[in-house]
Chains A and B, each alone.
Chain A
Amino acid sequence: MANVIAVLEQRDGTLKRVSREVLTAARTLADAMDGEAHALVIGPSGVSGDGLGEYGADKVFVAADDALALYQSDLYAATTADVVQGGDYGVVILAATAMGKDLAPRVAARLGCTLATDVTAIQYDGGVVVTRPVYAGKAVYRLKLTGAPSVVSLRPNAVAPEQNAKAGAVEATSVAGGPARATTVEVKQPDRAALDVAEASVVVSGGRGLKGAEHFKLIEDLAAAVGGAVGASRAVVDAGWRSHAEQVGQTGKTVSPSLYFAVGISGAIQHLAGIRTAKVIVAINKDPDAPIFKVADYGIVGDLFEIVPRLTEEIKKVKEG
């Protein structure tokens, strides 16, 4: 019997959605291991650990200090290590976000334990078993982790948050003293106006079906609504409608988003090779025989000039509501 602890992430004092995914994963694992699921929230003073019982937390540790408003690698790592060492934990789970990718190895190094990052599934099967993609998604490992605890970071969107009412008792915990070797001094807006298509988790790509550079506004609007980056097929870049930096496929970029919209793109192999590891592909094209439909998970056949504005509208509603 061992417990599982989920290290949650907050932004401006509010817990990010990915935290509920991590907590759900912790709960599932704790049940399989016959233990408790705890959560750790590190953030500025006032950050709340309330309501986490709803997603399966038996206990919630809150380390609050204004010095921790922004992610401070050494202090977060030290605080986490202290809490983990203070309990009997078999697994420590973080989200494989920018923060998690930095924090997880620090915690593992401090505790001298096994680490598996960016996993897409985590189970208990006589030991902690994780699934993680490698070689840019071209192959998948199933790994068993030994030693206690193991540290695991979970890919965002891999686990759907599940409600599972537990006590969720909140307990304040101390913030580690330091030293803070590196200091995060600020978070600023990115220099580039737009998200890099290769790093974005949502990409909206436009092809020749858009009939002209001026119509790309439709793609930009949809990308903005869904919080994604704008991509372009090679034909469109060659025609000079968009810059090479946005090209997806065939010497442009290989992208691996959770969600990829191919709008007015027929789907030649080289474009498809650029998006092969996208989790979900949506195609919008007026030609029902376009090859893109063979690869897309969902498709709408029809006039993109009518479909895309409607899609933008509906997605805005979802994001606001």
Chain B
Amino acid sequence: MKIAVCVKRVPDSEARIKIGADKTSIDESGVKLVLNPYDEYAVEEALKLKEAAGSGEVVIVSVGSEAAQETIRTALAMGADRGVLLEADAVGLDPLPVARALATELKDGGYDLILFGKIASDDYSHAVGVMVAELLGLPCASAAIKLEIADGKGRAEREIEGGVEVVEFALPAVVTADKGLNEPRYPALRGIMMAKKKPLEVKDAALDAGGVEILQLTLPAERKEGRIVGEGADAVPALVDALRNEAKVL
């Protein structure tokens, strides 16, 4: 099975976010950068499928700066075979240019399956994987919590409000992975050492500018002072009223 997994280098989710001096990006000093946690599910799934098939290749592709090579190496340490970095110093917020660059790279790769994490934990766009599928004219199941591949066909389950959607498709296909799809393996020491020797090609991403202009990046507003609505069970109607009409959450 030939599988491509697209990954992204993102700030660690525990990182304390500070706004940079330009007020349109975060201050990256001291921020730990890691493999997007949702991409870990995708890498793990690819490795499991290759292992089940007995043969094949798992290729890691990423759009990012030169440092993203480290992230690709992490996936190689987990067991992937080779990597491709589409180098771009500035990746804007518009998902389409990134999707186009990936689609161009993946188009003639002969992949049976292309996997993504459903979202990146920095921008939460939930877009690139699905867009790549559209650009390549492939079926796509997004946010999969379960995936079965057999005889050139796939079956994915995805969580929707109050239920689980079951989607069927034929390969080749694109699937984006959600939490719960699997339990990603830790890279073993030997894997880390071998990853250094696996091939990693660097190409120019040639991203176009995209249509999103960043006006400002700010910290969220301080929570407003709350209020005690009352005492005891008698205060309940007032609370319910506030939740409905003031907070508009009921």
Do the two chains touch directly in the complex (Cβ atoms below 8 Å apart)? yes
Q: A298-B227, A299-B228 are in contact. Are A98 and B159 (CB under 8 A)?
A: yes
A101 to B217, CA, bound (A): 23
Q: A160-B248, A185-B167, A259-B249 are in contact. Are A117 and B213 (CB under 8 A)?
A: no
Question: In this assembly, does B202 line the interface, its C-beta being within 8 Å of a C-beta of chain A?
Answer: no
Query: In the complex, what residues of B have CB within 8 A of residue A318's CB?
Result: 240, 244, 250
Residue in A98, A106, A226, A283 whose beta carbon sits within 8 Å of that of B161 in the complex: A98
- Given contact pairs A108-B96, A181-B173, A186-B166, a sample of 16 additional A-B residue pairs in the complex whose CB atoms are under 8 Å apart: A102-B143, A105-B127, A106-B134, A109-B96, A109-B135, A112-B96, A115-B131, A135-B122, A139-B218, A184-B167, A185-B168, A186-B165, A282-B239, A282-B243, A295-B226, A311-B240
Q: How large is the interface on A (under 10, 10 to 19, 20 to 34, 35 or more residues)?
A: 35 or more
Residue in B169, B210, B242 whose beta carbon sits within 8 Å of that of A181 in the complex: B169
Residue in A106, A115, A259 whose beta carbon sits within 8 Å of that of B250 in the complex: A259
Judge whether B243 and A185 touch: CB under 8 Å: no
Question: In this assembly, does A268 line the interface, its C-beta being within 8 Å of a C-beta of chain B?
Answer: no
Residue in A117, A133, A157, A309 whose beta carbon sits within 8 Å of that of B125 in the complex: A117
Question: In this assembly, does B160 line the interface, its C-beta being within 8 Å of a C-beta of chain A?
Answer: yes
Smallest beta-carbon distance B181→chain A, Å = 13
Query: In the complex, what residues of B have CB within 8 A of residue A184's CB?
Result: 165-167
A59 to B1, CA, bound (A): 49
Q: How many residues of B contact A (CB 8 A)?
A: 80
Query: In the complex, what residues of B have CB within 8 A of residue A189's CB?
Result: 163-164
Judge whether A139 and B127 touch: CB under 8 Å: no
Judge whether A187 and B160 touch: CB under 8 Å: yes
Smallest beta-carbon distance B180→chain A, Å = 8
Stretch at the interface among B11-19, B38-46, B48-56, B183-191: B11-19
A254 to B141, CA, bound (A): 26
Q: Which of A183-203 contact B (CB under 8 A)?
A: 183-191, 196, 198-199, 202
Question: In this assembly, does B150 line the interface, its C-beta being within 8 Å of a C-beta of chain A?
Answer: no
Closest to B178 in A: A199
- By CB atoms of chain A within 10 A, which of B94, B214, B249 has the most? B249
Closest to A74 in B: B139
Smallest beta-carbon distance A274→chain B, Å = 12
Question: In this assembly, does A296 line the interface, its C-beta being within 8 Å of a C-beta of chain B?
Answer: yes
Q: Which of B197-250 contact A (CB under 8 A)?
A: 210-220, 223-224, 226-233, 235-237, 239-240, 242-244, 247-250
Q: B-facing mask of A125-147, CB < 8 A → 1, else 0? A: 00001001111111111111111
A315 to B15, CA, bound (A): 37
Q: Which of A51-83 contact B (CB under 8 A)?
A: 70-71, 73-74, 77
Query: In the complex, what residues of A have CB within 8 A of residue B224's CB?
Result: 297
Query: In the complex, what residues of B have CB within 8 A of residue A48's CB?
Result: none
Query: In the complex, what residues of B have CB within 8 A of residue A108's CB?
Result: 95-96, 127, 131
Residue in A135, A157, A186, A259 whose beta carbon sits within 8 Å of that of B26 in the complex: A135
